[in-house]
Structure 1
Amino acid sequence: MLLLRCSIKQAWPLFSKSNTSLARRSASPLANTLRLGYRPTPIRTFTKTAQLLHGPSDANRTPAKINIPKEAAATTAQSQKAKSDSSSYSLFGRKVSTSELFMMRSLFKTIWPKDNPRFKIRVLIAVSLLIGSKLLNVEVPFLFKQIIDQMNVNWTQEVGVLSTVIGSLILAYGGARFGAVLFGELRNAIFASVAQTAIKRVASNTFNRLLNMDLQFHLSQQTGGLTRAIDRGTKGISYVLTAMVFHIIPITFEISIVCGILSYNYGLPFAAMTFCTMLAYSIFTIKTTAWRTKFRRQANNADNQAASVALDSLINYESVKIFNNEAFQSSKYNNALTKYQNASVKVATSLAYLNAGQNFIFTSALTAMMYMGCQGVVSGGLTVGDLVLINQLVFQLSVPLNFLGSVYRELKQSLLDMENLFQLQSVPIKITDVEGAPQLQLNASTPGEIKFENVTFGYHPDRPILKNVSFTIPAGQKVAVVGPSGSGKSTILRLVFRFYDVDSGRILIDGQDITKVSLESLRKKIGVVPQETPLFNDTIIENIRYGDLNSTDEQIHQVVSLVQLDNLIKDLPDGENTIVGERGMMISGGEKQRLAIARLLLKNAPITFFDEATSALDTHTEQALLKTIRTIFKRDNRTNVSIAHRLRTIADADKIIVLNKGHIQEQGSHAQLLSDPESLYAQLWNIQENLDVEEQLRLEEEERLRKEEQQLGQRDK
């Protein structure tokens, strides 16, 4: 009996240990944001490029219609009700549902790839070690029982034999315990590469999908929330894989073995008690966890919101300072943190309720089974060793039961964390190649004729930007597109580059429909200089090299000289290796535009678009740079399309297209359009000329007053 009390004393900590979360504590939103916010990511750059190229506000646009996979529609009635009550099921404003079954099937494909037999062998070895570990784990109580029964004899007879038998059993007991632990650790080591490879594959596929999403998708997202969801989702994948392979399967296997042993050796009462305990425990855990799920979703939603607010505030640091709105941004961030705090408190309190209920169920079952075992010993039906065996099996069962509860909770949380990640997999990529799309082939002599044929397009169905527009941009010429704001000038660039597809009509380049040729070949033939240049947080030379990743340093130095950046680089302490800062904040707007033009020249594309590409330059630098570009393009016979508000910069264009309210109002050369004083172009030109004259007079008057003040000062002296 002394040994029995000792065994109970040793096993009690396993039962009384708090049923806490399996080391998946989320970092604070601020910590996650600081980690994400200052890391230059292609996602952010891609999004900002889209924003810079986008003219009208995207606020009034209709989100893209999303086709949900058939598996994703198979959700339960309970989850459907939760979806109607919580916006956290939406993909950052888009209603997208992804079933848990769909996510689990997708994950299974990552750990059981058809084309990687070595990967499958690793999984099979890990599962074999798992089974061996559990079999040894169940064997331990039997060895303990035999030790107790062997010691409950008359020690005055055959002491040597008894000592040998008991010693062998003790060695076997220790070996079984060590073997169970060793097999478990070997399993973890072998499966580690499987889990990490799966995480890498999913994260890489998600990132590639984001880069291939259409422009409208990126403009409608909050980058901070998007990156936070991806970060949280990849961590969720790691836990789900571990839980399924190392917890759910082994727990089920171990419980089945224990139930079979109790039923076979000690009759139905013990097996029935065990079954009822597991049933009650599982039902309580699942029901309570389903109730707690909404709190976890609220916490995730608040976490995304806090990350987005903080990231936007840090990225737009100058705007916050310029408008003195630090208090407003702090209040906004604090409100998001308050929502996260309230949701997290609900998560913690509901967890305490779940733990208490689980322990009550198990304690009740344990008490009943120990009472039944003691009755069996008193009646002589069971030995002391049998009582110890029952005690050990029940306590051994408590460990997987406790893990079952925590694993189920964490599994549900991880699936929620993965929700946005897999929702991204359900959003269709709208701009894609047709099957077998050929390369875009330009004419050898005069490449780059662009033709719009009855093109209609709008970002919103109720607000068309271009209305049945037809025009031709001749190959090898400089063509300007002008007009009032919102007339659709920048939209032409986005349609030619296939950021969007037209609603009706078609666009041809050298007689080829751009929707019928490969995207890669189309975009390779087009160079763009946006009004504001998005830069990576890298050196000047690497930002220029982004125009052609295979370019040499000598080629880069040539374009740097052409755009007159060489003097700037010489004055910098680190020269061309100077870091430009986040979004190029450490250099001026004019320097960024020259860097963008250098990228364009390095790309050497036969078709080029300039979207207010020199608006930040002073007049002297602008004219010198335009002269250089004009010379290069005429020499290489490139097609140059300039989108401009300042008409002086495009007065030398071979053709000027005037857009107004979605229509081509007029087109022709500068002289032809000015010959009609009633033309819109002539009106815009006269307004700008008058403004230029007034500005010149104002500057001359300021200069005259300055000289008079200097003369008066000299007289006073």
Structure 2
Amino acid sequence: MATKATANEAVKRDRFVYTDDDVIEKSFNWQQMRRLYTYMKPHNRELIPVLIMMMIGTLTRLGVPLLIYYAIDNVINQKTGTGDTSTLWLLGAIMLGMYIIQLLATQYRIKHTNIIGQKVLLSIRSHIFTHIQKLSFRFFDKRPAGSVLVRVTNDVNALQDLFTNGVVNLLMDIIQLAGIIVILLVINFKLGLAVMITVPLMFIISTSLRKKIRFAWQEVRMKNSRINSHLNESIQGMKVTQAFVQEKNNIAFFEQMNASNLKSWNRASAMNQSFGPIIEVTAALGTCILYWYGSHLISIGAFTIGLLVAYSTYMAHFWEPINRLGQLYSQLLIAMASSERIFEFIDEQPTVEEKKDAKPLPQIRGDVSFDNIVFEYEPDRPALKNISINVKAGQSIALVGHTGSGKSTIINLLCRFYDPVQGSVLIDGIDIRDVTLDSLRKQVGLVMQDTFIFSGTIRDNIRYGKLDATHDEIVQVAKAVNAHDFIMSLPDGYDTQVEERGNMLSMGQRQLLSFARALLSNPKILILDEATASIDTDTELKIQEALKVLLKGRTSFMIAHRLSTIRHADDIIVLDHGQIVEQGNHEQLMEKQGVYHGLIKAQYRFL
């Protein structure tokens, strides 16, 4: 019972967390559909031969019942059952030829619409992924990785049926339906109206289901997104889950989410499938009217058996496109639910945006100024308050303070991951908001505590700092940070494949690779954000020797608690609750016996 209650509470929390995935309560938006069509527009020329094949297939399909009508009423003697054999063979050959043409045209249409549809999906997926690369950190702060993942994969894949079949089938079905209606009304106007009187009834009934079906599919997408988000989180946090023996609670939580997703899917699918029975019942009523009224017309000599057979064939063809149009509407509902979620991401604008007249940052010396900076992650909760720092090129600055004091926020502003609410960050006297992001970040190197290692080779991970680097350059920086020896001890040296996030490497080894990666980019400003926190003492001593050379001539910002890392900094800035409370070098701050002195004494007490 406790496990079930925990799972229920988790689901409640889950609903609170993933507010961006709530069902979007909007009316059906045809503008959204037109927007989706813009992805198909570049392929319009490829559609021309497909449309021609579609027209040929439709015309041959409509022509077959007319041949049957002609054979029954004009070639076959209805009393004796005999007729002109040569004419029947000729009509049979013509009919066979029409079926072959229809088969070839259909094969061509299906093949090429699938090719075009996959190209459209490729464009949509590339667009959303490219757009995500440009979004600011605030976007990712409030969304789990799984939620972003499902937009690029599942929601785009949900458009597959629409683009591979729906658009072309829509035109084919409309043309076929219009052709059949015209033929039915021309053959016998009254009978044509009689058999089609059930169509308005079908649309009245189905219309009431449309809104419910659309919201049902939106709920399916929402819950599927939550499952992906939780799955991603569970895999990333598996060590923590097992360490705290929370496997059962995690399973119960997932099972509840999974069951909720299944329930939503069943509900949406059941509503979706309701179109079929509605059309079948309507078609049955139409057929009953056809044979009842048609038989009456034959009995009074106003109709023929050949016309009745042709009419019944056309009626069978009449309900096929209507059925497919019902299915297409279901595809539109699914596409609408997915496209709303896709365009929600695409319409998201970066909170850190380049100015239209932004210019590349020229080669910098490394002077950095924080001028009266005020910053807040959430309104009315300032993380930095009136921060002013002036750093000369080549100086090393250490930022220290308790957790949440604002150290990492200063670094984030320098890299322009966020923009200040008030004040400005200047490099060589240039406001970083006036320059392009690429030109800024290419001259700023960043090494974080949580090192991210990509799947690939050791060489590829180091080269990430400079994609055109030679092997000699890679080896040089690896030696500089004392990573070369451990790399050469691996099975394939620099060509050793590392798993996602570098799980086969120790924390210290991953950190050394991140040092090499940052130094390879040869930045004028180097940021070390708790970069030595995960390195053992022996490794740290090697890095300290390398840093003496590597930091020479570079402006550096270091966030660290270890005395060995910060004591030689030119200036140490002590932060507390977003404000500078002390500033000076190690000796000056120790003499004050203030906050910094207390931090150092506390560190020694626990060593």
Q: Distance in 1 between matches of 2:359 and 2:586?
A: 38
Q: Which amino acid aligns with 2:340?
A: E
Number of corresponding residues: 593
Q: Does residue 1:586 correspond to 2:504, yes or no?
A: yes
The TM-score normalised by the length of structure 2 is: 0.92
1:155–1:586 Cα change, 3 Å? same
CA contact (8 A) 2:155 2:221 kept: no
CA contact (8 A) 1:495 1:502 kept: yes
Q: Distance in 1 between matches of 2:25 and 2:352?
A: 20
The aligned counterpart of 1:356 is 277
Aligned partner of 1:91 among 20, 25, 35: 20
SS at match of 2:294: helix
Q: Distance in 2 between matches of 1:664 and 1:254?
A: 76
Moved more, 287-296 or 486-495: 287-296
Q: Distance in 1 between matches of 2:309 and 2:25?
A: 54
For 1:47-446, list aligned pairs within 5 A.
91-92=20-21, 100-113=29-42, 119-153=43-77, 162-267=84-189, 269-351=190-272, 353-443=274-364
Q: Give me the identity figure in percent.
A: 28
Q: Which amino acid aligns with 2:457?
A: T
The aligned counterpart of 1:488 is 406
- The alpha-carbon deviation at position 295 of structure 1 amounts to 2.9
Post-superposition CA distance 1:110-155 (Å, at most 9, x none): 2213xxxxx3321222222222221221111111111112333389
- The alpha-carbon deviation at position 352 of structure 1 amounts to 5.2
The aligned counterpart of 1:682 is 597
SS at match of 1:653: coil
1:356–1:194 Cα change, 3 Å? closer
CA contact (8 A) 1:448 1:475 kept: yes
Gaps of 5+ in 1: 1-85, 114-118, 696-717
The aligned counterpart of 1:472 is 390
CA contact (8 A) 1:528 1:609 kept: yes
CA contact (8 A) 1:97 1:423 kept: no
Q: Which amino acid aligns with 2:139?
A: F
Q: Distance in 2 between matches of 1:96 and 1:458?
A: 31
The TM-score normalised by the length of structure 1 is: 0.79
CA contact (8 A) 2:23 2:215 kept: no
Aligned partner of 1:653 among 569, 576, 582: 569
Q: Which amino acid aligns with 1:277?
A: T
- The alpha-carbon deviation at position 278 of structure 1 amounts to 2.5
- The alpha-carbon deviation at position 522 of structure 1 amounts to 0.3
Q: Distance in 2 between matches of 1:96 and 1:556?
A: 53
- The alpha-carbon deviation at position 96 of structure 1 amounts to 9.1
Q: Which amino acid aligns with 2:271?
A: S
Post-superposition CA distance 1:463-503 (Å, at most 9, x none): 10111211112111111111221111000111111111111
Aligned partner of 1:511 among 416, 419, 429: 429
Q: Distance in 2 between matches of 1:562 and 1:373?
A: 93
Q: Distance in 1 between matches of 2:25 and 2:391?
A: 41
- The alpha-carbon deviation at position 164 of structure 1 amounts to 2.8
Q: Does residue 1:530 correspond to 2:448, yes or no?
A: yes
CA contact (8 A) 1:373 1:390 kept: no
Q: Does residue 1:639 correspond to 2:555, yes or no?
A: yes
The aligned counterpart of 2:3 is none
Moved more, 621-630 or 280-289: 280-289
Q: Distance in 1 between matches of 2:544 and 2:205?
A: 74
Post-superposition CA distance 1:288-317 (Å, at most 9, x none): 243233333332222222222222212222
Q: Which amino acid aligns with 1:682?
A: H
Q: Distance in 1 between matches of 2:24 and 2:202?
A: 35
Q: Distance in 1 between matches of 2:388 and 2:580?
A: 8
Q: Distance in 2 between matches of 1:120 and 1:88?
A: 42
For 1:657-676, list aligned pairs within 5 A.
657-676=573-592
SS at match of 1:472: strand
CA contact (8 A) 1:541 1:556 kept: yes
Q: Which amino acid aligns with 2:318?
A: L
1:628–1:521 Cα change, 3 Å? same
Q: Which amino acid aligns with 1:597?
A: F
Q: Does residue 1:623 correspond to 2:541, yes or no?
A: yes
Q: Distance in 1 between matches of 2:462 and 2:150?
A: 30
CA contact (8 A) 1:659 1:665 kept: yes
Q: Distance in 2 between matches of 1:485 and 1:157?
A: 97
- The alpha-carbon deviation at position 353 of structure 1 amounts to 4.2
CA contact (8 A) 2:113 2:168 kept: no
The aligned counterpart of 2:466 is 548
Q: Which amino acid aligns with 1:103?
A: Q
1:188–1:87 Cα change, 3 Å? farther
- The alpha-carbon deviation at position 158 of structure 1 amounts to 12
Post-superposition CA distance 1:8-34 (Å, at most 9, x none): xxxxxxxxxxxxxxxxxxxxxxxxxxx
- The alpha-carbon deviation at position 345 of structure 1 amounts to 2.8
Q: Distance in 1 between matches of 2:158 and 2:29?
A: 13
CA contact (8 A) 2:276 2:323 kept: no
Post-superposition CA distance 1:381-406 (Å, at most 9, x none): 11111011111000111211221222
Q: Distance in 1 between matches of 2:158 and 2:227?
A: 20
Q: Which aligned segments of 4 or more residues in structure 1 are displaced greater than 4 angstroms?
A: 86-90, 93-99, 154-159
- The alpha-carbon deviation at position 216 of structure 1 amounts to 1.3
CA contact (8 A) 1:457 1:464 kept: yes
- The alpha-carbon deviation at position 272 of structure 1 amounts to 1.9
SS at match of 1:609: strand
Q: Distance in 1 between matches of 2:557 and 2:179?
A: 75
1:535–1:410 Cα change, 3 Å? same
Q: Which amino acid aligns with 1:546?
A: Y
1:428–1:173 Cα change, 3 Å? same
